[in-house]
Amino acid sequence: MTLLSGGAVRDTRRLLTAVPDPRAPDAVREPAITIAANGYRHDMRTVALAVAALLLAACGVVGQPDQASWRESALQTVEDTSAALATTRTVVLELRKDHLPERYAITVLATKEEGLATTEGGLSSLQPPDAERVRSERLLALVGRASDAQRQVRTLVVAGQEVPGWLLDELDGLIRLLDRTAEELS
């Protein structure tokens, strides 16, 4: 049973039915799965081909990169990366002061690391316009460095080791560099 808009109920048990395939010889008549929707019956192969054609049409077209949209995506990536590193830095400092439970700190750091990996992957999948190729490569390298620093911090905290000052300095430097890059992109 399916609840339709307006409170009407429709019996969906009859949507998938087995009917003999009329193209098969009489001795080998196997039922073909059909879908009945709005009174029409469709062979599953026809439905699958139609869905595949729609997916190919929707995904097969790659547009020429737009400089404004690329810059907007790059700016969002830079801001997200900077925010993740700032959170990481704060977590480390609060953990040092025993203001955070270690499990909570590990959870936050792992979440930020996953977010950075997603952000890095999203940026690397964008095709930059020709005018932005060099900046794109520099930005990918910067986000990669930020991701590496994040991973190092999380690894140390999980191992129960203190995060060294040089690594916090690295986070600070990356945050400043990301913030400068954000200003350039906006």
User: What pLDDT, on a 0 to 100 scale, did the predictor assign at position 149?
Assistant: 95
pLDDT tens, 40-66?
A: 455 555 555 556 555 555 554 445 567
The torsion region of residue 160 among left (phi > 0), alpha (psi -120 to 50) and beta comes to left
Mean pLDDT of all residues in 24-40:
52
Least confident of 9-18, 107-116, 155-164, 166-175: 9-18
Query: Is the confidence at residue 35, as pLDDT, over 60?
Result: no
d(CA 184, CA 118): 23
Q: What tokens appear for 112 in the block?
A: 């930020």
Least confident of 70-79, 88-97, 109-118, 126-135: 126-135
pLDDT tens, 77-88?
A: 999 999 999 999
d(CA 31, CA 165): 71
Query: Is the confidence at residue 2, as pLDDT, over 80?
Result: no
Looking at per-residue pLDDT, the higher value among 10 and 178 belongs to 178
Q: Residue 152 contacts by C-beta under 8 Å, 6 or more apart in sequence? A: 167
User: What pLDDT, on a 0 to 100 scale, did the predictor assign at position 16?
Assistant: 47
User: What pLDDT, on a 0 to 100 scale, did the predictor assign at position 103?
Assistant: 93
Q: How confident is the model at residue 131 (pLDDT cuts 50, 70, 90)?
A: confident
User: What pLDDT, on a 0 to 100 scale, did the predictor assign at position 52?
Assistant: 57
Long-range contacts of 107-115 (CB under 8 A, 24+ apart): 109/150, 109/153, 109/154, 109/157, 109/158, 110/154, 112/84, 112/87, 112/88, 112/150, 112/154, 113/147, 113/150, 113/151, 113/154, 115/80, 115/84
Mean pLDDT of all residues in 26-51:
53
pLDDT tens, 133-169?
A: 899 999 999 999 999 999 999 999 999 999 999 999 9
User: What pLDDT, on a 0 to 100 scale, did the predictor assign at position 14?
Assistant: 47
- 3-state SS string for the chain: CEECHHHCEECCCCCEEEEECCCCCHHHCCEEEEEEECCEEEEHHHHHHHHHHHHHHHHCCCCCCCHHHHHHHHHHHHHHHHHHHHHHHHHHHHHHCCCCCHHHHHHHHHHHHHHHHHHHHHHHHCCCCHHHHHHHHHHHHHHHHHHHHHHHHHHHHHCCCCCCHHHHHHHHHHHHHHHHHHHHHC
pLDDT, mean over the chain: 78
